[in-house]
Amino acid sequence: MKFLNALMTVMLFVALIGGCAGKGVRGEKDVQLPPGTLNAADVTELFSGKTVKSVLDKTGRVSLTYYNPNGELRQLQNGEKRSGTWEVRDDGRICLAFPGDERQCRIIVKEGDVYRKYIVKLSGKHMPVVTYTSFSDGNLVDK
C-alpha cells in the first residue's frame, strides 16, 4: 500500500510538472537578444560621466545627454534643456525617466564600432531606436 501511495504521488507530481511545461506566458527571459548586447557593467562604464550624442533613428533628431554618475541626467534637444534620471538594471537595460514621461528601459547593442539602443520585442524582432554617435568625458550639455 505504501508503494502504491508513493507511486501515485510521483505520478501526480510528473503530471503536474508535465502539464505546466510550455503553457506559461512567454516572458522576456525567453527572448533571444541580439549579438553584441551589453551587460550592466559595460553599459554603466560606457555612459557614466559621459556626454553622449545620439540620433533618433525614426526622425533623425539629435540629442546631447550627460549621464551623471549620481543617476541624474541633463539633455539638450532641439535647443531646449531638460533634466531626468537614469539607471542601469541588473539585466543590462538602461532606463531613462523625464518628468511627465514614462520611464523607458532599453538594451544597448554594440554593432561593429557603433552602439545602438533597442526596444526588446517578445517576438524576437527587436527594434533599433537610437544610434549613439559619440561619447565624451564630462558634462558638455551645461557648458
Quick one: average pLDDT of 44-51?
Answer: 98
Q: Is the pLDDT of residue 19 over 90?
A: no
Q: Which of 111, 116, 136, 139 is nearest to 53 (CA)?
A: 136
Q: Is there a contact between 33 and 124 (Cβ–Cβ < 8 Å)?
A: no
- C-alpha cell recorded at residue 109: 547593442
Q: Is there a contact between 90 and 40 (Cβ–Cβ < 8 Å)?
A: yes
**Start-to-end CA span in the chain (Å):** 82
Higher pLDDT among residues 10 and 92, named by residue: 92
Predicted confidence at residue 67, as pLDDT, reads 98
Q: Which of 132, 136, 106 is nearest to 38 (CA)?
A: 106
**Which CATH number applies to 33-137?**
2.40.128.640
The domain locations on the chain are: 33-137
Distance of alpha carbon 134 from alpha carbon 114, whole angstroms: 9
Predicted confidence at residue 30, as pLDDT, reads 73
Average pLDDT, the chain: 84
